[in-house]
Structure 1
Amino acid sequence: MDRRRRRHSWPLWPPDRVETTPPLLSSRGLSLCIDIIDWSDIDFRSHNERAKIEQIECLKRVQQGADLCKYGSRGSPHIRFFYVDATGSILRWKSHKKKMEDSMIILSNVSRLQVGQNTPIFERFVKLRTRELKRRSFSLIYGDDCEKTLDIVCSTREENLVWVRALRFLITREAYSKKIDPYRSLLRSFWDRACVRERGVIDIDAVSRLLGNMNITYSKPECKVLFDNAGVHRHDIIDFSTITRLSLRLRSSPKVYFDIFQRYSDSDVAKLSVGLKQFMLFLRTEQNMDMDESEGLALMRRYMSKEGGRDPPSLRIYELISYLTGDQNTLFDPARMNLYQDMTRPLYDYYINSSHNTYLEGDQLKGISSTKMYIKALQEGCRSVEIDCWDGPNGEPVVYHGFTLTSKVLFHEVVQTIQQHAFDTSPFPVTLSLENRCSLPFQRRMAFHLRNILGPMLALPQDEDRVMLPSPSSLQYRIIIKAKLFLNDMTPSATLSSFSAYSFSESSIDQNASESISALAEQGVAPELASMVMLRARKFSSFDMFRGVAACQMTSFSEKKVTKLVKKGLSGRFVCYNTHNLSRVYPSRFRVDSSNLSPFQSWVSYPSSVIACTAVISVSSVLV
């Protein structure tokens, strides 16, 4: 089928002009990207030769490029020509309006690739999300705070598979390179930005700007001396190998070069480098490491570049520096990189990474609510997320910051997102802290979605009178529901922010909120929802009320409340309470800018297990 005929058969595509000019790739550039792949580094869940060949074909096709449908930030779909550059480190597309540097993604900045249409752009703008269309779609999530997405729809499922498979490989390769040599990976990302217009080479002036971006400030005379010492002249065109050599001069201290590298350089090797015999001597003499020759060889090969084999194996100066600055020589104990603590104790014996108002991207008054904030929180290690539930249109509960101007997101979309990403980074249980402001029919709808979406993942209450909570180890891959079973425990202060500085009447809003909550308190909690609640939240009046109560009961404290308790000299009572029940501390309602209390001060004064912190993407400027 020819390209034109196939293009017009795609749904939701505008009759836009398409650029079909192929990327400037030579056969040498294409083979370079294929050749530098070390297949032993990456597991593609298939080890046969056919699978390896299929991977190579996928890489070739994405470098040759294809017309794909891109959804912009405003939701309009456009056909763009996408391709991966010759190095396999940048995804580019041709745009009619945007500059070249705005039409690219450096793959080392991509946090994840997800298949389907689960991003806010897709959810907001694609009205007809059929199963077939979802199978042809994928998104790249990138940026420092994972706040940006590139949303793509392919023409066929086969084409979607090709791009997803190739991009996943390249993203994994970039992540692996970053782990092995983080400095070189960082240099590569700056290089990719600097040479966006020059197609693989830059001049000396661009190098000066690149060094400035890396916080390496050199005056023009100093740059000239640096270039002269490296044998680079002003009118030379500089490639990545040259900039690597320049950066090496900046990284190499005289002590490393003269006291280590030259002392242990092997005269039997043609180029100045450290051979296996000398490297073993270095490990024994300088590092006090006792390992056999096979282990030393494996360590050498880990830091040797993949740009061609060396026989006999040896380390060049930049590879030795990579070893000295790598994870093998970190001050942090490598044994502590993996879980080593006892995870069989009750939940209240641990500090739990917790999120406050998880759904908010911005401030507490008019910020955007979105499901991607739950993805961000869970992938950053949060094990407790908050869901503020309210009655919504069409019989569906919604999530937003009540009595404010924040946007709304559907409750079932939040639960679906949590189900998909709860255990991306950790197998230990996730607690859903439900702030239930819904009427009975909507509570039943909440219970339906929780049971239908989470199913066997739910940790249902068992022995209500047990004196100890279960352990994180016994609750792996389970989701805990925490909520109030007595709605008359609810207070408007837990949800409201201060509007006094924004020409709103705080007293009138408090009155409206109290009336709404009083109405909810009279009707109680739906039995369908109550049967799922494992952690039962109660309103705090005194520590005496928690003497001898079941371990499943807990309470939440505002920042202001715990400060008062500490000033009254009740820190000891608070510590005693936390030895048999969970407590949660959340920021003051006056923090409308989504700022946080200090968890360290909290742990010293009143070691609460759950200190809830906001993790917003951006905070809009506040009216004054």
Structure 2
Amino acid sequence: MSSRLVNRKGDPQYRRHFLTDNSTFHVERCMGVMQSGTQMVKLKAGSKGLVRLFYLDDHRSCIRWRPSRKSEKAKITIDSLYKVTEGGQSDIFHRHADSSLDPTCCFTVYHGNHMESLDLVTTNAEEARTWITGLRYLMAGISDEDSLAKRQRTHDQWLKQTFEEADKNGDGFLNIEEIYQLLHKLNVNLPRRKVKQMFQEADTDDQQGTLTYEEFSVFYKMMSLRRDLFLLMMAYSDRKDHLTTEELANLLRNEQKMANVTPEYVAEIIDKFERSDENKQRGVIGIEGFTSFMRSPTCDIFNPLHHEVNQDMDQPLCNYFIASSHNTYLTGDQLLSHSKTDMYAWVLQSGCRCVEVDCWDGPDGEPMVQHGYTLTSKIPFKSVIATINKYAFINNQYPVILSIENHCSIQQQKKIAQYLREIFGDKLDVRDALSRDSKTLPSPQSLQGKILIKGRPAVNGP
């Protein structure tokens, strides 16, 4: 099923509302406190937590801390943040429910492709509020930017960070040996002769034999030049280092198969993607601007109309492909990884409409969700259902299907049915529309906001 999925942090109204509630002075104060560093407890499953100094780096691009061991990841980029929640709401906090943690001092930072959680406890509520406000501001600012500007900002931050990490002695320069080591780390396989040639071309100041950050930026551009795009530009520019408005228009018609390419449209491309003010005034685009344009969403093959619902959603449910998740609760592999309710929140907000819930008998008569006959961890069925209820329809109103694999005894199956009715309430679709007498299934349109149960008995279980 097709629908537009909008993350809350990407909502322009959220950005405006956020800035209305917090003055520039207040936000900058938060940034200053975060960059100075705050000592917080980093909660972990099965431990009392680790005291660490967390701080925002100078570029406001990463949260950093000193790890207890070298193999531990000790930074999270702002661009990877998914959301920040207040209080002890995460799965890790639930495991520490018996402790005397003050909810006003607790917050969770969700990040990464698998929505990992960084669960933090401050010494007072003001510190927690400062970090929550600052992180939400940074998230709103990044997601509000034009996609091209966002990529350029991320690239510049990465390039600066790469330069600083390669500068082993911290003198602010990179020599040729440090460049060789950096390229090896980046898996760039260029002949040393070629690297040395580009190094010498970029080394233009009085400090011969080393590159400043600005010179390193020039060196990196030489190294990362897309040969295929350069040759394409040369073919249409009569071997010049730029394309005129007319030459770019010809390229768009012949190579990109675009129709109705007007001079006004080409001028807009040059104005948006060309970085050199001199080239803009001349009405031409150089290799960097041309590369940015060709790699931008403007040249995507994906039809932008499909970001919105564009199909007939009144057909029977079986007429659609449905985005589905297998072993939804797992954070990693199927043998040893953790099970977390957070995974349901993540996949549902990412567009998934069918999630899997593997149910097994648990202690004290409470059914559990886990991957059977493995060493994966368990989570209460009730917590899973509560999470699904909370996140099912935040970004998408089309129905959610629970694919329940039932390994439970009759007694705990009754508990499952009880929780489904109590927690979902009117969202649970229990009509007789799916009975054997029905000729057709209901449509996604008619089932908006509803939760369907697709159950089957276990193949190898009781």
Q: Is the 8 A contact 1:178 1:185 kept in 2?
A: no
Which of the numbers 379, 404, 415 marks the counterpart of 1:409?
Answer: 379
* Number of residue pairs the alignment of both structures matches: 434
In structure 2, how many angstroms separate the alpha carbons of the residues matched to 1:73 and 1:191?
A: 35
Mapping of residues 462-611 of structure 1, within 5 Å: 462-463=432-433, 464=435, 465-483=437-455, 490=457, 494=459, 496=460, 513=461, 517=462
Tell me which of 105, 111, 114 is aligned to 1:142: 111
Is 1:69 aligned to residue 41 of structure 2? yes
Work out the CA distance in 1 between the residues paired with 2:182 and 2:142: 20
Q: Secondary structure at the match of 2:50?
A: strand
Gaps of 5+ in 2: 1-10, 254-258
Q: For the structure 1 residues 93 and 363, does the alpha-carbon distance in structure 2 shift closer, same or farther, using more than 3 Å as the test?
A: closer
Matched, 1:346 2:319: no
Match of 1:387 in 2: 357
**For the Cα contact (< 8 Å) 1:433–1:481, is it kept in 2?**
yes
Is 1:419–1:454's contact at 8 Å kept on the other side of the alignment? Answer: yes
The equivalent position to 1:287 in structure 2, one of 252, 264, 267, is 252
The equivalent of 1:155 in structure 2 is 123
Cα distance, 1:196 vs structure 2: 4.1
* CA contact 1:389–1:400 (8 Å) conserved in 2: yes
Say if 1:385 and 1:432, in contact at 8 Å, map to a contact too.
yes
CA pair 301-429 structure 1, distance change in 2 beyond 3 A:
farther
- Identify the residue that residue 244 of structure 1 maps to in structure 2: 217
CA distance in 1, matches of 2:276, 2:54: 27
Task: Name which of 32, 36, 40 aligns with 1:60.
Answer: 32
Distance of aligned partners of 1:359 and 1:209 in 2 relative to their CA distance in 1, 3 Å threshold: same
Whether the 8 Å contact between 2:237 and 2:247 is mirrored in structure 1 is: no
Question: Contact 1:387–1:432 at 8 Å: present in 2 too?
Answer: yes
What's the TM-score once normalised by structure 1's chain length?
A: 0.58
Cα distance in 2 for residues equivalent to 1:409 and 1:235: 59
Residue in 2 aligned with 1:620?
none
Say whether 1:223 aligns with 2:199: no
Note the C-alpha offset of 1:222: 1.9
Distance 1:431-1:48 versus aligned 2 partners, 3 A rule: closer
Residue 430 of structure 2 is matched in structure 1 by 460
Structure 1 residues 405 and 155: alpha-carbon distance in aligned structure 2, compared to 1, 3 A threshold: closer
Separation (CA, whole Å) in 1 of partners of 2:109 and 2:238: 45
- Give 1:91 deviation, angstroms: 1.3
8 Å CA contact retained: 2:114, 2:331 = no
Distance in 1 (CA, whole Å) between partners of 2:173 and 2:119 is 31
* AA partner of residue 192 (structure 1): Q
Q: Give the conservation status (yes or no) of the 8 Å contact 1:75–1:121.
A: no
The 5-angstrom pairing of residues 426-465 of structure 1 reads: 426-463=396-433, 464=435, 465=437
Q: For residues 91-146 of structure 1, give each alpha carbon's deviation from its aligned partner in whole angstroms, at most 9, with x where no partner exists.
A: 12245x4459943222233344344434443333453376x51x432223334544
Aligned to 1:123: 94
SS of 1:75's partner is: coil
How much does 1:319 deviate?
A: 3.3
Deviations 1:276-312 (A, max 9, x none): xx65x566444356578887676556546799xx999
Q: What does 1:163-312 align with in structure 2 at a 5 Å threshold?
A: 163-174=131-142, 179-180=147-148, 182=151, 185=154, 188-189=157-158, 192=161, 195-196=164-165, 198=167, 203-204=174-175, 205-231=177-203, 235-239=209-213, 241-249=214-222, 250-253=224-227, 254-255=230-231, 258=234, 281=246, 284-288=249-253, 290=260, 302-303=272-273
Which residue of 335, 342, 347 corresponds with 2:305?
A: 335
- Bigger relative contact order, structure 1 or 2, given CA contacts below 8 A and separation 6+? 2
Q: Deviations over 1:523-546 (max 9, x none)?
A: xxxxxxxxxxxxxxxxxxxxxxxx
Q: How far is the alpha carbon of 1:328 from its aligned partner?
A: 0.8
3-state SS in 2 of match to 1:475: coil
Q: Is the 8 A contact 2:325 2:356 kept in 1?
A: yes
| 8 Å Cα contact 2:34-2:56 kept in structure 1 | yes
Identity among equivalent positions (%) equals 28
Matched-pair contact (CA < 8 Å) for 1:112–1:141: yes
Task: Tell me which moved more, 46-55 or 216-225.
Answer: 46-55
Question: Is 1:90 aligned with 2:90?
Answer: no
CA deviations over 1:235-288 (Å, ceiling 9, x no partner): 42542x4443223223254436656689899xxxxxxx98xxx65x56644435
Deviation at 1:375, TM superposition (A): 3.8
- 1:23-38 alignment, distance < 5 Å: none
- Distance in 1 (CA, whole Å) between partners of 2:326 and 2:34 is 41
Q: Distance in 2 between matches of 1:398 and 1:225?
A: 63
**Post-superposition offset of 1:381:** 3.6
Give the Å deviation of 1:471.
1.6
Offset, 1:357: 3.1
Change in 2 beyond 3 A, CA 1:417/1:370:
same
Q: Secondary structure at the match of 1:46?
A: helix
Query: Which AA in structure 2 matches 1:358?
Result: T
- Alpha-carbon distance in structure 2 between the residues aligned to 1:169 and 1:313: 37
Distance between the aligned counterparts of 2:301 and 2:398, measured in 1?
A: 28
Deviation at 1:219, TM superposition (A): 3.1
Change (3 A) 1:314 1:156: farther
For 1:87, give the aligned amino acid: H
The alpha-carbon distance between structure 1 residues 179 and 244, as it changes in their structure 2 partners (threshold 3 A), is: farther
1:293-347 deviations in Å (ceiling 9; x for gaps): 887676556546799xx99999665334211221112233333444423222111
**Partner of 2:210: helix, strand, or coil?**
coil
SS in 2 for 1:431: strand
Supply the distance in 2 between the matched residues of 1:57 and 1:312 (Cα, whole angstroms): 43
TM-score, length basis structure 2: 0.76
SS at structure 2 position matched to 1:352: coil
Residues 448/423 of structure 1: CA separation in 2 closer, same or farther (3 Å cut): same
Look up the SS of the partner of 2:118 in the other structure: strand
